[in-house]
Amino acid sequence: MDEDEARHRFAGAHVARLATADEHGRPHLVPIVFAVDTEKADNDTVYSAVDHKPKRTTALRRLANVAINPAVALLVDRYDEDWAALWWVRADGTGRVIVPTADEARHARALLAGRYRQYQDDPPAGPVLAVDVTRWTGWSASGA
């Protein structure tokens, strides 16, 4: 799968898995909702935000991990009983935590609201995680 197809499939998915690592290299994996901003001239950025869903705290492990170790990976995939339809796409990149009041955070929330109906009425108010993608990779059983 070429980079353009990988980017297209990734952007069309509704849920990704975010992999970060803590200061000891221990992995941390969580599902996230996201939006891809492909309009930047220099790279693609994937955004996710701390939203209103119930959590023990808004000081999430994923944000702490990115502050310590900004190397992250995101994965989307499709499983099907017809194994000829299987595929996955990974976005490797550098994570950044953006304060909620920053212009880029407002831009990210607008992108997220454009993808998820739940955010239109109740936009996320917490920090935004930005992943500046440095590499798109993917695989498809069909070879596409």
Q: Which domain holds residue 45?
A: 3-136
Whether residue 54 is predicted with pLDDT greater than 60 in this model: the reply is no
Which residues, in sequence order, are bridge partners of residue 9?
Answer: none
Say if 60 falls within a structural domain.
yes
Residue 41: which pLDDT band, with cuts at 50, 70 and 90? low
> Mind listing the pLDDT tens digit for each residue in 12-21?
999 999 999 9
Q: Please, are residues 18 and 72 in contact by the beta-carbon 8 Å criterion? A: yes
State the total domains in the chain: 1
Percentage of the chain modeled with pLDDT above 90: 75
Residues listed for the chain: 144
- Identify the pLDDT of residue 19: 98
Say if 48 falls within a structural domain.
yes
Q: Which residue has the higher pLDDT, 51 or 108?
A: 108
- Identify the pLDDT of residue 123: 87
Give the C-alpha separation, 93 to 87, whole Å: 20
> Mind listing the pLDDT tens digit for each residue in 56-68?
665 688 999 999 9
Q: Which two tokens stand for residue 71?
A: 């190397």
CATH code of the domain containing 71: 2.30.110.10
Q: What is the mean pLDDT of the chain?
A: 90
> Mind listing the pLDDT tens digit for each residue in 82-125?
899 999 999 999 999 999 999 999 999 999 999 999 899 888 88
Say if 141 falls within a structural domain.
no
- Identify the pLDDT of residue 75: 98
Which amino acid is located at 137 in the chain? T
Query: 31 Cβ partners below 8 Å, 6+ apart?
Result: 15, 16, 17, 18
Say if 144 falls within a structural domain.
no
Cα distances (Å, whole numbers) of residue 77 to 6, 55, 140: 11, 25, 10
